Amino acid sequence: MSLLDTPLCGLLGVRYPFVQAPMANTAPPGLAAAVSGAGALGSVAGGSLSAEKLRAAIREVRSATDRPFAVNVFAPPYLRDGALDVVLEEQPPVCSFTFGVVDPEPLREAGIVVLGTATTAEEAEALERAGVDAIVAQGAEAGGHRGSFLGGFPLVPLPKLVPSCVEAVSVPVVAAGGIMDGAGIAGALRLGAQGVSLGTAFLFTPEAGVPRAHLEALRSHETVVTDAYTGRPMRAARTPVLAELMAGPPALPFPDQRAVAAAKGPLYMGGTGAARGRELGVGELVRLLAAEAVAAERSASG
Ligand SMILES: Cc1cc2nc3c(=O)[nH]c(=O)nc-3n(C[C@H](O)[C@H](O)[C@H](O)COP(=O)(O)O)c2cc1C
């Protein structure tokens, strides 16, 4: 199993270098607990939660597992009031963020491992300068909102983004975007990533509790990146509702557009690999991903 035994495992305190990507308004604490219990890193999707709800979610994961887990927050100006105080008080083993830069210093002083999200090598460098412990490289394939924060919303595919980030920074790089199986994991590790972050793959586990309509939409429509639903570019299933919004007037600024769009119908976020989602329990999925990655690496090396 040496392929999967990367230094990131030691940093995060996990058996497998797999992160369950945080998914605001979608991934419940029970999913994070199940993923951590299976030997990977579960994430509390804290970005959109009030301080009170964030604390409750963290405590829910803690009561279900003694394994390490992450808490995700949005960077300023989208950081919710009191969220960082809750993280510092509750001291989860890992804190991740997206949409910008959260000062890692107070978190690291509290013994929390800090992960930042980059969509370009330049953003990875900025995060390393800020002092994060590792960088999640979010490729163009990723479901959900783009984490970009340094001018524009570039869509760099993962096979280009990972090597450019690995070259640009000395902290570990975690690859995110369109990874659905062990072959995808082995491919990302071969590019120099020390771990992977999977969002959409976990949407299909019963522990995620995602409505059937969401999974069906991901199976039956291509995904597309657009700001038409929330006012910020994100990847989701191109349903008739989303197509209509894309053809309509320019979106209001993030996040105000969401209320306008929600009146037309639901949003189903997911990555480019969504059609390959497998409905397996978390424990089974994590074990399968690990076994497939090792097998893929063996056949590649030959
Ligand atoms: C439904 C959904 C919600 C998401 N919400 C968040 C979030 O709250 N915070 C965050 O850092 N990333 C969020 N993301 C992006 C993920 O962190 C990650 O980049 C993405 O899931 C990786 O691509 P994949 O879905 O193809 O695996 C979200 C993704 C999805 C699909």
- Using CA positions, which residue lies closest to atom 11 of ligand 1? 98
Which residues 6+ apart lie within 8 Å of 209 measured at CB? Answer: 28, 30, 31
Task: Give the count of domains, the chain.
Answer: 2
User: What is the predicted pLDDT for the residue at 302?
Assistant: 72
Give percent of the chain above pLDDT 70.
100
Q: State pLDDT tens for residues 29-56.
A: 999 999 999 999 999 999 999 999 999 9
User: How far apart, in whole angstroms, are the C-alpha atoms of residue 41 and residue 202?
Assistant: 12
Structural domain contains residue 36: yes
Whether residue 26 has its Cβ less than 6 Å from ligand 1? yes
User: Could you tell me the sign of the dihedral formed by the alpha carbons of 147, 58, 180, 242, in that order?
Assistant: negative
Domain match, 106 and 228 both = no
DSSP 206-242: GGG---HHHHHHHHHS-EEEESTTTSS-EEEE--HHH
Give residue 135 CA to ligand 1 midpoint distance, Å: 15
Pair 25, 138 in one domain = yes
Q: Please indicate whether residue 172, judged by its CB atom, sits closer than 6 Å to ligand 1.
A: no
Task: Please state the atom number of ligand 1 nearest to the C-alpha of residue 177.
Answer: 23
Beta pairing class for 195-198 and 144-145: unpaired
State the average pLDDT over residues 99-117: 98
**Taking residues 11-19, what's their average pLDDT?**
98
Q: What are phi and psi of 252, to 5 degrees?
A: -70, 165
Pair (138, 237) in one structural domain: no
Torsion, Cα 14 16 72 132, to 10 degrees, reads 70
Residue 57 domain boundaries? 2-205+277-301
Closest residue to atom 30 of ligand 1, CA basis: 144
Using the predicted structure, report yes or no on whether residue 121 has a pLDDT greater than 80. yes
Q: Is the CB of 274 under 6 A from ligand 1?
A: no
What CATH number is associated with residue 179?
A: 3.20.20.70
148/53 same-domain check: yes
Ligand 1, atom nearest to 46 Cα: 8
Residue 272 falls within a domain, yes or no?
Answer: no
C-beta of residue 128 within 8 angstroms of C-beta of residue 135:
yes
User: 206 C-alpha vs ligand 1 centroid, how far in Å?
Assistant: 18
Instruction: Give the sign of the dihedral formed by CA 74, CA 42, CA 223, CA 269.
Output: negative
Q: Identify whether residues 153 and 31 lie together within a single domain.
A: yes
Is 1's pLDDT higher than 80? no
- Residue 63 sits in the same domain as residue 179: yes
Residues 12 and 55 in one domain: yes
pLDDT tens track for 286-302: 999 999 999 999 998 87
* DSSP 3-state percent helix, strand, coil across the chain (nearest 5): 40, 15, 40
Is residue 182 within 8 Å of 294, Cβ to Cβ?
A: yes
Name the residue with the closest Cα to ligand 1, atom 10: 22
Residue 75 lies in a domain: yes
Q: Distance, CA 6 to ligand 1 centroid (Å)?
A: 23
pLDDT digits (tens, 9 = 90+) for 184-239: 999 999 999 999 999 999 999 999 999 999 999 999 999 999 999 999 999 999 99
Q: Is 239 in the pocket of ligand 1 (CB under 6 A)?
A: no
Q: Is there an atom of ligand 1 within 6 Å of 233 CB?
A: no
Residue to substitute in 97, 145, 223 for testing ligand 1 pocket (most ligand atoms within 8 angstroms of CB): 145
